[in-house]
Chain A
Amino acid sequence: MKVGLFIPCYVELFYPQVAIASLELLESAGVDVDYPLKQTCCGQPMANSGYQNYGEGSAALFRKNFSEFDYVVCPSGSCTLHAKDHIYSGEENEPKIYELCEFLTDVLKIKELKADFPFKVGIHASCHGLRGLHLAKPSELMGADFNKPKQLLEMVKGIELIELTRKDECCGFGGTFAVLEEAVSVGMGKDRIKDHEEHGVQVITGADMSCLMHLEGIIRRDKSSVKVMHIAEILNARVPKTQNQ
């Protein structure tokens, strides 16, 4: 099983620790994983802005970079969903693309982790992973409950997972929405952070660094004490520590 790691463009540039944690997680699970160096972006920023055609170059590059792999794994629900919907067509000869959490739970069927993280953690359920990839049961849908990121976090030693009032409300990032609809975007972000703060959360985590980047931006501006960490960082946490400490 050959796995290609796709790292979102903004993670590659600004959050290398998330990419390192993702890579180490896969390696420690014994996966044959490679990171093709010619990768850039899935093209979602252009496509969601209404310029899908300008994302075609990066989509072609994506297909080329990962053509030799059985699986593509990506630590972002949003980029994974975009690649699934707009880069691949679901045919037999294509690699199968998975978001990191669902790859761990559904393909590797991980039952235990060595991670240790003695903090109060709130899960931010990013929308594209939640409603697009069904990483968990969205609150709008009726039926049996499931939650893949939570299932993994529960394997972490010392962690205390905190329930929120609105467990899967959007944070307001939304790509270019964050700047085009700045007022609503920031309002939504502040409300999410408040929900975590009010329940005593120390670290907000999630499967999408883009939402966390938006929340972190507000947290740092407002000088809140809550931290954000990508779920891969927690699942890979060997020594108890939080970000920026």
Chain B
Amino acid sequence: MKATPTHAAAAEEFLKDEERSHWHDDTLWHVRSKRDVAAQKIPEWEQLRTNASQVKDHVLSNMDKLLLQFEKNATENGIEVLWAKDAEEHNQHILRILEEYQVKNLVKSKSILTEECGLNHFLEDKGYDVVDTDLGERIIQFNKQVPSHIVMPAIHLKKKEIGDIFHKHLGTDEGADDPAYLTEAARQHLRQKFIQARVAITGVNFGIAETGGFVVCTNEGNADMGTHLADVHIACMGIEKLVPRAADLGVFLRLLARSATGQSITNYTSHFHRPREGKKLYLILVDNGRTDQLGREDFRNSLKCIRCGACMNTCPIYRRSSGFSYNSTVPGPIGSILSPGMDLKKHSTLPFASTLCGSCTDVCPVKINIHEQLYKWRQVITKEGPSQPSKKWAMRFGGNVMSKPKLFDLMGNLARKSLSISPRGFVYNSFNAWGKHRELPEVPKESFKEWYRKNRKQ
């Protein structure tokens, strides 16, 4: 199997197209700015974030009881609850349901969980026609890509590129890139798929333990369109998506859309409690590594995430390197603390794809200390991850020098002297990553210590 490229290598590749990188940065910065405007309108914004974080603390500490309460109430409502310990079990549940109803076509609204489980490929390999009905997801499905962002899956594509994709797959006019025209074409195309599909899959934004119901948020109404027309609704939910009470939605729904896109609320906030008469409603509760993460004291509160994507929009590295550079279902800062828990080796460079600027932490609506967890993952990766002998040696050497004042002074003077006398070509060699596009500092005639000895301490 091909090794996953490091984040740095993938990012460098994306940055080669400077114009695209700037366009990507500006597009997402615009979303971050909209979020700021929306948050400024809520005087109690910071209080809401604190409340949301505390509710999720409660959920994480009482996950066992809340899940059972949720299962009991959902079952009493007539929902068939299934448990999946991993992606494989999740996919098998769905396959079994499809086989039972002898259905070959299905529609699916956005669910990052099903991406995480690789559901589309799993079903397509078995001859099923899985149609993603979120516009962005349908675009990348045509383009045989995965989402580059969890809220705006096709944010990496420009209007013209989408026009080309639609021309190829939907027969729109060549070169046409008017958003209204393209959206109308997608609408007509998806209507047919909605009408044909007897099974609809959705994700879950919030499962309510108290009522056994759940909430799905979309901007396009595609979850509703799918589930209203189908005989069978399968909802897939990560076990961390619980809230204890319906009243808690008053906190989370106010935060979610504002953080995600700067809207005051998603266009469709749909509450599902029981199957409609004569129809079937399944709810699959998926672990897939979540209880492992819950058991990691330093990283457990990453499970508070409500998948708003605000940390991606604000991250200066994500904006300039795009979601694909992370090679992870959930990219960006939150992905960089979730993914190492799933596969430490594959995702070992992600916690280093950050300056630890902390913007992600301050923008997070549930107050996950993302940048502190990035720091902590770094400590874990140098111990348990792929070995990097030269980096380790350099850091050990550095640590040794820094703990001995005389050695530090000696090495410091040596560095200053050698920098000031070495020819330029020697200093700016191919191993000097700093010097590729930057000058090194000019060497002053004396260090501060030398100055201090002369001028203050005789």
* Pair A183/B12 contact, Cβ less than 8 Å: yes
Assembly CA distance A191 to B450 (angstroms) = 36
- A130: nearest chain-B partner, CB-CB: B358
Given contacts A35-B452, A169-B316, A188-B320, contact A50 B381 (CB under 8 A): yes
Q: Using a CB-CB cutoff of 8 Å, which residues 371-413 of chain B contact chain A? A: 375, 378-379, 381-382, 391-392, 395-396, 398-405, 408, 412
Contact with B along A66-92 (1 / 0, CB 8 A): 000000000000000000000000000
Given contacts A46-B398, A131-B361, A186-B438, contact A172 B448 (CB under 8 A): no
- B44: nearest chain-A partner, CB-CB: A142
B21 within 8 A of A: yes
Q: Using a CB-CB cutoff of 8 Å, which residues 109-157 of chain A contact chain B? A: 127-128, 130-132, 138-143
* Pair A54/B398 contact, Cβ less than 8 Å: yes
Assembly CA distance A54 to B379 (angstroms) = 11
Assembly CA distance A166 to B29 (angstroms) = 10
Closest-CB distance, B436 to chain A (whole angstroms): 6
Given contacts A37-B453, A218-B437, contact A141 B46 (CB under 8 A): yes
B15 within 8 A of A: yes
* Pair A55/B451 contact, Cβ less than 8 Å: no
| A-B interface contact total, Cβ < 8 Å | 211
Complex interface: chain A residues within 8 A of B357 (CB) = 127, 131, 170, 174
* Pair B356/A187 contact, Cβ less than 8 Å: no
- B362: nearest chain-A partner, CB-CB: A140
A220 within 8 A of B: yes
Complex interface: chain B residues within 8 A of A10 (CB) = 441
Assembly CA distance A178 to B357 (angstroms) = 13
Given contacts A12-B449, A41-B408, contact A217 B359 (CB under 8 A): no
Q: Using a CB-CB cutoff of 8 Å, which residues 161-214 of chain A contact chain B? A: 166, 169-170, 172-175, 177-189, 191, 213-214
Assembly CA distance A146 to B298 (angstroms) = 32
Q: Using a CB-CB cutoff of 8 Å, which residues 426-458 of chain B contact chain A? A: 433-434, 436-444, 446-453, 456-457
Closest-CB distance, A237 to chain B (whole angstroms): 18
* Pair A141/B362 contact, Cβ less than 8 Å: yes
A225 within 8 A of B: no
* Pair B396/A179 contact, Cβ less than 8 Å: no
Complex interface: chain B residues within 8 A of A50 (CB) = 352, 378-379, 381-382
* Pair A13/B379 contact, Cβ less than 8 Å: no
* Pair B396/A54 contact, Cβ less than 8 Å: yes
Counting chain A CB atoms within 10 Å of each CB, which of B21, B356, B399, B449 scores highest? B399
Complex interface: chain B residues within 8 A of A166 (CB) = 29
- B40: nearest chain-A partner, CB-CB: A142
Closest-CB distance, A32 to chain B (whole angstroms): 13
Partner of B448, one of A12, A132, A188: A12
Complex interface: chain A residues within 8 A of B312 (CB) = none
* Pair B42/A142 contact, Cβ less than 8 Å: yes
* Pair A170/B359 contact, Cβ less than 8 Å: yes
* Pair A9/B379 contact, Cβ less than 8 Å: no
Given contacts A141-B46, A221-B437, contact A187 B15 (CB under 8 A): yes
- A186: nearest chain-B partner, CB-CB: B437
B232 within 8 A of A: no
Interface residues on chain B, number (Cβ under 8 Å): 74
* Pair A174/B399 contact, Cβ less than 8 Å: no
Partner of A131, one of B8, B321, B358, B405: B358
* Pair A58/B403 contact, Cβ less than 8 Å: yes
- A211: nearest chain-B partner, CB-CB: B355
Complex interface: chain B residues within 8 A of A19 (CB) = 448, 451-452
Partner of B457, one of A37, A40, A172, A220: A37
Closest-CB distance, A40 to chain B (whole angstroms): 4
* Pair A182/B436 contact, Cβ less than 8 Å: yes
Assembly CA distance A221 to B345 (angstroms) = 37
B25 within 8 A of A: yes
Complex interface: chain A residues within 8 A of B440 (CB) = 217
Complex interface: chain B residues within 8 A of A52 (CB) = 379
Given contacts A170-B355, A174-B356, contact A179 B444 (CB under 8 A): no
* Pair B451/A188 contact, Cβ less than 8 Å: no
Given contacts A52-B379, A142-B45, contact A40 B403 (CB under 8 A): yes
* Pair B395/A180 contact, Cβ less than 8 Å: no
Q: Using a CB-CB cutoff of 8 Å, which residues 337-377 of chain B contact chain A? A: 352-359, 361-363, 375
Assembly CA distance A12 to B29 (angstroms) = 37
Partner of A57, one of B400, B444, B451: B400
Complex interface: chain B residues within 8 A of A14 (CB) = 416, 441-444
* Pair A43/B359 contact, Cβ less than 8 Å: no
B11 within 8 A of A: yes
Closest 6 CB pairs of A and B: A57-B403, A174-B355, A54-B399, A217-B438, A50-B378, A50-B382
Contact sample, A vs B, 26 pairs, CB 8 Å cutoff: A12-B448, A12-B449, A14-B416, A14-B442, A17-B444, A40-B403, A45-B398, A49-B382, A50-B378, A57-B403, A127-B358, A131-B357, A140-B359, A140-B363, A142-B39, A143-B46, A172-B355, A175-B355, A177-B355, A178-B434, A182-B12, A182-B433, A186-B438, A188-B355, A217-B439, A220-B438
- Report A's interface with B, CB cutoff 8 A: 7, 9-17, 19-20, 23, 35, 37-41, 43, 45-58, 60-61, 127-128, 130-132, 138-143, 166, 169-170, 172-175, 177-189, 191, 213-214, 216-218, 220-221
Seed contacts A37-B449, A187-B320; 20 additional CB < 8 Å A-B pairs: A20-B451, A37-B405, A39-B405, A48-B375, A49-B395, A50-B352, A54-B398, A138-B359, A141-B46, A142-B42, A172-B316, A177-B352, A181-B317, A181-B352, A182-B437, A183-B12, A184-B317, A185-B355, A187-B21, A216-B439
